[in-house]
Amino acid sequence: MRTTFSRTFSTATVVLLLALLSIGIFLRAMLEDYMVDIAFESLEKDASAIAELAAAYEAQGAMTDVEFSIDLDIAGDLSDFDAVVCDREGRIVLCSDDPMCTQHQDLMVSQDYLQKVVSTGLIRGTGQIQGLYQDARYVCSVPIHSDAGEVVGIVMVSQPVARTQSFLTKATQIYIALAIPVIIICVVVLGLFAKWQMEPLRQVAKTARAFGHGDLEARVEVQPDAPAEVAELALAFNNMASSLQKSEYQRQEFVANVSHELKTPMTTIGGYIDGILDGTIPPDRARHYMTIVSDEIKRLSRLVRSMLDISQLQSQGGIPEEKKLCFDAEEAAGQVLITFEQKIEQKGLVVEVDMPEHPVYIFANQDYVTQVIYNLVDNAVKFCPQGGHLGLSIREGGTKALISVSNDGDTIPPEELPLVFDRFHKLDKSRSQNRDGWGLGLYIVRTIVCSHGENISVTSRDGKTTFTFTMPLVN
């Protein structure tokens, strides 16, 4: 499987080569057009000058004299062209590369070409001049006019195409000689740049592999000069890793706590069942111990329901607005107190209720808020001593309703206060006095309150513990 580095490097290299090749082809084509235009312009000027010179000699009746041949030969050598002078019948009378015209004697230019030059006044062309030159040439032909305006012949000026092609070949060689170092330098720079760009991605991959192999502390170090996209990717990975690490620690803690809490009741249930089956427990005591087993099973059932409630709340990520409604918090609190009427009377508790005389409407999920109040009152009743005070108050503060539940009892140590809402957390004294609790009640309370986007706090001093939580007040 190809790496991102190889893909980036190969793509950039191919694009560079295609760009240089396209530029070279384009430049050669433009240079060739330019050189051809220059060649024809020069030939046209030379042909016109020779035609004027030939007309002057013709006026003196000396167009075929040796003097004109010498002048034509000198001009051809100076301007680097070959010239041919023909009479009105198309017969070659002078040639710059053969002053005596012995090589081209009796050669004739076709009448069609002659008439075309006479009629148009100028002909440009590229090709071979049969009988004169074997190579391809740029040719420019103009007529020779006498003083009377009559055509007395034509002048054909030409130069080999190979000269221009030789120049183009040399220019191409120079371009290639310059392009090769450029390609090498660009390839090296592209390679180093691509490697530098890919290095953060390699770090992300390396860290991801380490994280996948169990190193939950692995994080990507984002360099200040890293590209914005890579820095964003590294930040997203680090956030994901932190979230997964937290979830893994919570999972480990949850498994450890559940295992710890289940061990005692499961051992108790197993011991009593085995004792009944093997006869260790006499039949007349079996009912008593089966009652204990039934109570332990009910406790396990309550644990499962509590964990399901917590899981449901956490999976929602908050209470949806459509599940909230406006209701009277005083009425909900009063219904909870009625539920605990029997337990309150059994312990002889003094209930102190402090609520406004008018309804206090809040906007929340009524079932969940009722469960919060229920859990707090249940907790207060459990730990309130015989004949103690149980308090329930509702106050209005700005845009919030403050609901408090208090009870008399032992003061919670300051170091324990931050832990009371943790899952499965119990005070040692509460463990010994109460076996019905799992340490999930307050954890559920905090989860519900936080799911509403609100806060809960606890204070404990001078033998009185108070839990207070807020809910949005409807004005």
**Tens digit of pLDDT for each residue in 106-127?**
678 888 888 898 889 899 888 8
Which of helix, strand or coil describes residue 430?
helix
Percentages of the chain per state (helix, strand, coil), in multiples of 5: 60, 20, 25
**The pTM is what?**
0.46
Cα-based angle 237, 239, 244 (whole degrees, multiple of 5) = 90
Q: Please report the pLDDT score of residue 230 as a whole number.
A: 74
Token digits for 229?
Answer: 């996209």
**pLDDT higher at 177 or 67:** 177
Q: Please report the pLDDT score of residue 233 as a whole number.
A: 80
**pLDDT higher at 420 or 359:** 359
Q: Please report the pLDDT score of residue 427 as a whole number.
A: 57
Q: Please report the pLDDT score of residue 433 as a whole number.
A: 40
Farthest CA pair distance, the chain: 161
Which DSSP symbol is given to 390? E
Cα–Cα separations (whole angstroms), residue 43 to 112, 144, 221: 22, 15, 72
Q: Whose CA is closest to 304, among 253, 265, 336?
A: 265
Q: Please report the pLDDT score of residue 301 as a whole number.
A: 78
Domains and CATH numbers, the chain: 4-166 (3.30.450.20), 228-315 (1.10.287.130), 319-472 (3.30.565.10)
- β-pairing, 389-397 with 361-364? unpaired
Amino acid at 416: E
295-320 pLDDT per residue, tens: 778 767 766 776 676 676 666 667 88
- In which order are the strands placed within the sheet that holds 82-87? 92-95, 82-87, 151-160, 137-145, 123-127
364-409 pLDDT per residue, tens: 988 889 989 988 998 899 989 999 999 999 999 889 999 999 999 8
130-173 pLDDT per residue, tens: 667 778 889 999 998 888 788 888 998 988 888 888 888 898 89
Query: Is a pLDDT exceeding 50 seen at residue 329?
Result: yes
Which DSSP symbol is given to 434? -
Q: Please report the pLDDT score of residue 261 as a whole number.
A: 60
**pLDDT higher at 358 or 214:** 358
- In which order are the strands placed within the sheet that holds 389-397? 350-354, 389-397, 400-408, 464-472, 456-461
Q: Please report the pLDDT score of residue 428 as a whole number.
A: 46
- β-pairing, 92-95 with 82-87? antiparallel
Whole-number mean pLDDT of the chain?
82
Q: Please report the pLDDT score of residue 442 as a whole number.
A: 86
Nearest-angstrom CA–CA distance, 215 and 229: 25
58-88 pLDDT per residue, tens: 777 776 666 777 777 777 777 778 888 888 8
Q: Please report the pLDDT score of residue 99 as a whole number.
A: 61
From 1-10, 240-249, 283-292, 356-365, the region with the lowest mean pLDDT = 1-10
Q: Please report the pLDDT score of residue 100 as a whole number.
A: 60
3-class SS letters over 241-308: HHHHHHHHHHHHHHHHHHHHHHHHHHHHHHHHHHHHHCCCCCHHHHHHHHHHHHHHHHHHHHHHHHHH
Mean pLDDT of 423-438: 49
Nearest-angstrom CA–CA distance, 273 and 289: 8
Query: Is a pLDDT exceeding 50 seen at residue 435?
Result: no
- pLDDT band of 327, cuts 50, 70, 90: very high
Query: Is a pLDDT exceeding 50 seen at residue 438?
Result: no
